[in-house]
Structure 1
């Protein structure tokens, strides 16, 4: 026993370890108290948030900005001519002369923003979109660039931005994971792109499906137990958690065991809500058609986008949707016209449907939609027949829509050919800092102590770009 002074100084871990109550009952009690209690490490927002959640539409491979959302009439005019300035010192592969876009651009909306004919449906939403035309990174290789975009580091294992977001804000729904990634790719960093690294394991992303398989398989397996009732499962879980607690008392703190205890609790809670969240039979025929689920071209990515909306309306904090396949990603070193035509046809209608659906339901007001790949493409040609572009991290386009950003707005600019970001340059660190700001968090204050130093998503970099804020 301890005196009153020492009792008051007990840490949370000590209190839990010395309590006679089973871990299962403690976890259940905290979940019943409300969503914030489910993630005890979550801190209050640093200032009023404009967004409550994020949907990240990740285009694996690097879509070409000069063929989609960064119109360059000078590039069209000088097609076939040499680039009139120096190429980057570090390049992924050699490239030749300038290559004009094979697609036409047209102005849309009240803002009159130019969009390629590759995205006729997304183009109808330009007045809700903030185009970030000056994003740039530091790595011309897929692996490093993917890690940089997802974790803020291209050469160390760091927590993903979804993990940082859920660590900072906690969950809105204790019955579902706070961070879900739908059909993620296992290439170029794989699970590290949605891992929590040194953050507590409960902040890592929960993968549903994989990019190399149809999105019909993007389901949580074994979500229902046909043999035992919920009450019996609760008793079993409490017994197991009590045994785990006894083990912790004798072995000392074990992060992996504590994370497993919490994962068992989440799995139990998910049985009540996850099946409904994944059940698209609740949707109307008009909604399924809007997302393109009745079309072989769009149904796979359309299902992912529809699941993203269903998770968003149920309070999942960070949802990632990945467009990637093992054959034709957005990585067109050759066959640019065929590859980008195929890819855009698969995602254009579903993305437009997601924006429409979120707006109709009032969710776009507090949901931030982020679109983009790990880098852009060069304005110079590559491959046989002048039908390809190389990786280009020097300047490319991502876009945001929804909570807190200016709609119908182009922020920043690349040079007249689209090679380098020049105006209002937004590094990937700046992108992360701005995203966290929209969620009500100061990126310099969102830190975690590990291995003797404080870490953050933006490391020692990052500037919030207030120019995009509505």
Structure 2
């Protein structure tokens, strides 16, 4: 066997990657097969709201905040915590109360803003986590941390870990699929990088695959003119033979990955267009999701695509929707952003429940952090980033329904009860998939790396059904 220095060094950490690619049900750390215990969920839909939704205006209700409107945020509340460069120079930090009224909804009585009337109708099916916190204060490290468990770019994403550990339920589509959207007529917002769904040090077969909203779902999926499906099959067979010969000499697991991806692309030539074809969806679907669900590239359309993928056994679908970064024009832009996303997010939960899929599918909604209670600039203009506390919600697949978890102070600035870190949330998500996050590792650079990092992380038992 011929091994150059590069491949010898890789073999120690990555030799099992080929095994993971060819035998998806086998746990790549080789310590035990996955799942570790009986799972409650098979799949996850992650509704990633890029930019930082304002927990103060959406979920984290404090009746006394109206009286605090316009007053100075006390130093005793700020506690010397750092703020971004956008507000660090402000001489005043005036408290800005929620821009819309809140009401208690459902049998559980969860408080929800009038900005989210459709989400308000599903509160008995979701858990609102009001005590999330993160290490990051700016967008790029924040959304990187949310998706990979590290602020440092290059680590594997949650979906890549899922694909690596549990494999795929649908051999004709990737285990991990990505859909992007942004509000109609709005500025692009914070950039979304493909490394957010990357595989990092895991074999690259586990990285997410972005599906396009217009034209072919995947570029170059169609055969060129003059190439038939049978001739494509013959070419791939020959290429596979050559790759197997090369792998025997190189022992490079990426050769196996390349072969697997060629085969996947071949199968996707039939499966991807079928998933994207919504022509047979009944009219009731568009009444539920809204008319925007007819338009490829919208958030509503992507929510519908997520349901169609889950129906077909795909492990993870992640939607990234940009536009939540309201540093200014809060009164105008936040309602518009809610209008883009509220109906479809709620419809997805309702649709999964009607089809009997919610019990085995987790739905997670949230962004990289929240927003500040104080105004950026003049009172009511906008809100800065805030990572010390923010809100997310989760439904289905092992999550308890109909509860509000955690508590913040009267300024929605600090957590006073039941904190939940990003690592805690990821540990809980893995638990619902039947995975012990402490035992789910991959050897890289001399460490047994985990999605939940080296710091202490806990499964939040009170979030479990």
Please say whether Structure 1 and Structure 2 have the same fold, judged by a TM-score greater than 0.5: yes
Residue pair 2:156, 2:198 contacting (<8 A) in 1 also: yes
1: CA distance, partners of 2:181 / 2:297: 17
- Per-residue deviation at 1:258? 2.6
Residue pair 1:433, 1:443 contacting (<8 A) in 2 also: yes
Distance 1:182 1:74, change over 3 A: same
Distance 1:38 1:151, change over 3 A: closer
Deviations 1:155-209 (A, max 9, x none): 2421001111111111111111000010179955611110001101111000123
- Per-residue deviation at 1:39? 9.1
Distance 1:454 1:299, change over 3 A: closer
1: CA distance, partners of 2:199 / 2:270: 25
- Per-residue deviation at 1:406? 1.3
Coordinate RMSD, CA, aligned:
2.9
- Per-residue deviation at 1:299? 7.8
2: CA distance, partners of 1:297 / 1:220: 18
2: CA distance, partners of 1:140 / 1:44: 35
- Per-residue deviation at 1:382? 1.0
SS at match of 1:288: helix
User: Residue 308 of structure 2 corresponds to which residue in structure 1?
Assistant: 310
2: CA distance, partners of 1:423 / 1:14: 45
SS at match of 2:156: coil
Residue pair 1:293, 1:299 contacting (<8 A) in 2 also: no
1: CA distance, partners of 2:35 / 2:25: 12
Distance 1:61 1:160, change over 3 A: same
Query: Which residues of 2 match residues 452-467 of structure 1 at below 5 A?
Result: 452-461=446-455, 462-467=457-462
Distance 1:189 1:389, change over 3 A: same
User: Residue 340 of structure 2 corresponds to which residue in structure 1?
Assistant: 346
Deviations 1:363-407 (A, max 9, x none): 111000000000000111112353211100000001101121111
Deviates more, 1:84-93 or 1:162-171: 84-93
Residue pair 1:184, 1:322 contacting (<8 A) in 2 also: yes
From 141, 146, 150, give the equivalent of 1:149: 146
Gaps of 5+ in 1: 2-10, 18-26, 210-214
1: CA distance, partners of 2:381 / 2:341: 22
2: CA distance, partners of 1:244 / 1:380: 59
Distance 1:385 1:331, change over 3 A: same
Residue pair 1:297, 1:346 contacting (<8 A) in 2 also: no
User: Residue 195 of structure 1 corresponds to which residue in structure 2?
Assistant: 198
Residue pair 1:298, 1:345 contacting (<8 A) in 2 also: no
Distance 1:448 1:308, change over 3 A: same
Gaps of 5+ in 2: 2-11, 183-188
- Per-residue deviation at 1:298? 11
1: CA distance, partners of 2:82 / 2:438: 30
2: CA distance, partners of 1:433 / 1:14: 26
User: Residue 235 of structure 2 corresponds to which residue in structure 1?
Assistant: 236
From 174, 181, 184, give the equivalent of 2:171: 174
User: Residue 140 of structure 1 corresponds to which residue in structure 2?
Assistant: 137
Residue pair 2:100, 2:113 contacting (<8 A) in 1 also: yes
SS at match of 2:304: helix
2: CA distance, partners of 1:299 / 1:122: 22
User: Residue 276 of structure 1 corresponds to which residue in structure 2?
Assistant: 274
SS at match of 2:395: strand
From 376, 386, 403, give the equivalent of 1:392: 386
2: CA distance, partners of 1:153 / 1:279: 37
The reply to whether residue 365 of structure 1 matches residue 359 of structure 2 is yes
SS at match of 1:358: helix
Deviations 1:323-343 (A, max 9, x none): 11xxxx111111111110110
Residue pair 2:371, 2:385 contacting (<8 A) in 1 also: yes
The reply to whether residue 420 of structure 1 matches residue 414 of structure 2 is yes
Residue pair 2:293, 2:299 contacting (<8 A) in 1 also: no
2: CA distance, partners of 1:216 / 1:292: 19
Deviations 1:123-169 (A, max 9, x none): 10000010111000011100110111000000242100111111111
User: Residue 53 of structure 1 corresponds to which residue in structure 2?
Assistant: 43
Distance 1:235 1:37, change over 3 A: farther
Residue pair 2:173, 2:264 contacting (<8 A) in 1 also: yes
From 77, 93, 96, give the equivalent of 1:99: 96
Distance 1:83 1:440, change over 3 A: same
2: CA distance, partners of 1:181 / 1:262: 19
1: CA distance, partners of 2:273 / 2:293: 25
User: Residue 63 of structure 2 corresponds to which residue in structure 1?
Assistant: 73
Question: Scaled by the length of structure 2, what TM-score is found?
Answer: 0.87
Q: Following superposition, which runs of at least 4 residues in structure 1 exceed 3 angstroms of deviation? A: 35-43, 184-189, 215-218, 226-231, 294-299
2: CA distance, partners of 1:256 / 1:61: 34
User: Residue 126 of structure 1 corresponds to which residue in structure 2?
Assistant: 123
Residue pair 2:51, 2:324 contacting (<8 A) in 1 also: yes
2: CA distance, partners of 1:450 / 1:356: 41
Residue pair 1:39, 1:170 contacting (<8 A) in 2 also: no
Deviates more, 1:266-275 or 1:220-229: 220-229
User: Residue 289 of structure 1 corresponds to which residue in structure 2?
Assistant: 287
Residue pair 1:308, 1:319 contacting (<8 A) in 2 also: yes
SS at match of 2:218: coil
Distance 1:400 1:262, change over 3 A: same
Distance 1:151 1:37, change over 3 A: closer
- Per-residue deviation at 1:293? 2.8
